[in-house]
Structure 1
Amino acid sequence: MSTMRGALRRPSVVAQVGAVLVVVLLVAVVVRLPWAGDLGMHAATVQRLRHDLVDPGNPLVDADTPSPYYSPWMLVLGCVARVTGFSVFVVLRIGAVVGLGLFISGVWRYVRTLSPHPAAPALSLLCLVFLWGTSLFTWSGFLGLNSLALTVSYPSVFALGLAFHLWAWLAGAVRGGSAAGAGWARGWGVWVGLGVLWAVILLCHQFSGVVASLGALATVVAARVRGGVWVRLGVGVLVGGWGFCGCGRTTTSSRCSGRGGDLEAVHRGLYRDWWGGTGWCRWGWWRSGCGWWRDRWDPLVLFFALGVVVVGGVG
């Protein structure tokens, strides 16, 4: 028995050490915070909110117009900058630490809903940052190490961290732990909270919000919920939809008005040759095939299938 425990413990320790090294590397990136990509735009957004939380104007041009870069998370960082007097880059570093913490803890929580193996969370974190093929790929909302090194202070990392927590929380709720509980806090309150969390993710980074929505749908389908859970789930969806539509009317208007073609052209590279031309997609096909063979209701298989449907429809 002790030999078996030792055999199980060794890969767990190796995986955990590897995950810790990745986290240390990302913390070093936060300290360095290289000026690249869209960092200047996010810094300008925080700077405008520092000066005026109600009517900050457009952070990119001298015009009193709405901007898609304003979000609940940027508002929080603007308040931090306003109260503390820290420079915008110090505030962005604080935001990066929070986003990175949410991402790591979210992965740990979500993976625990899928596997009890002690090495599973650390191995999953390593897979998330390394299994992206042999070509360097950098894009906001993607979790490859190269992307994270550039976007760790962006709202997309914060939103994806919340997405993992959303899936973990939702998985526990649909399996009956919260839906069957007595009282507001353990019953309806959970679903209202899930709806609010979903809305916050959508407001902070819409493209990550699409990923979060697909993952949530896969979690619900995999759980094969029935009865009163559907009613509670409907309440959560209504709360989230109302929050996103109500609070996001001004921030998303400039993103959606007259720019659909431009955004389509910019993001086409993300799903070009999606059938198997990128490392992450080939890994997805292999993982989904193995998962489907083991369990036809595997949430990761359903998640990947939904992604294929959406990307295939867009492409």
Structure 2
Amino acid sequence: MTDTLTLPSPAKLNLFLHIVGRRADGYHELETLFQFLNYGDDITLRVTPEHPGVRLESPITGVPDEDNLIIKAARALAHKAAGELPGVSISIKKRLPMGGGLGGGSSNAATTLLGLNHVWKLQMGLDELAEIGLTLGADVPVFVHGHAAFGEGVGERLTPAFPPEDWFLVLKPTCNINTGKIFSEQGLTRNTPKMTIAPAFEGDASRYRNDCEDVVKKLYPEVKQSMDWLKQFGPARLTGTGACIFGRFPTESAARIIWESKPSGITGFVAKGVNISPLHQKLTELE
């Protein structure tokens, strides 16, 4: 049994996000294109046979352990396994901003599920782990499956996709966005026509958009200001419900040139879009 295992917990981008309807349960029907970035958090799992249970070594400021998706994922997996399991201590090196639309919490949950499945030798399949993940959040399954995908439903019905693996400049304006607030706004577009087939890649950018963008820019002037700046250099788009925005570039150097000229006070990073999650690349190396 592996005593200590460190795994990546990557960011995702919604290359587009269309809201195509509202369900009876109040959730929204979405169509979106997920792609991973070669940038994110790191999660370390340390097996502790002398200390049963799951503990988080590095609590996240402002998030009680019982609300942390890492702990929730570990407990849900242990419950499903329904056997006696060795204790595990979990630590996280956090890089992804909270409230950024990059899927940090969902990615942390997925990395925990796949990592513990490995160290506990449970041999659960991806579909089973994704089913557990869906109980934790709508974006967890795409991180569990680990392939860029066209998402439908609340984002959980996934069709593998192969968008270009370009470079991205991601900016995080100085605000945190409440997803529930955005989806409850009266002015939100909820009737974008459904696609008849899953897009193979993003293609003509004018066909796609983020339906949350206008509402977010209206409620959060910091987002509008950052987006207006980034649009000087090409198309810029919100990911998820924000607050992060991104621009696409053909090379790393092109993205870094713009990064160097960004306004002061804005954080962010440059990363490559990848269609196979760095988490899955790492787990494949361990096989």
TM-score normalized by structure 1?
0.27
Question: Quick check: which one's helix share is greater?
Answer: 1
TM-score normalized by structure 2?
0.29
Q: Which has the larger radius of gyration?
A: 1
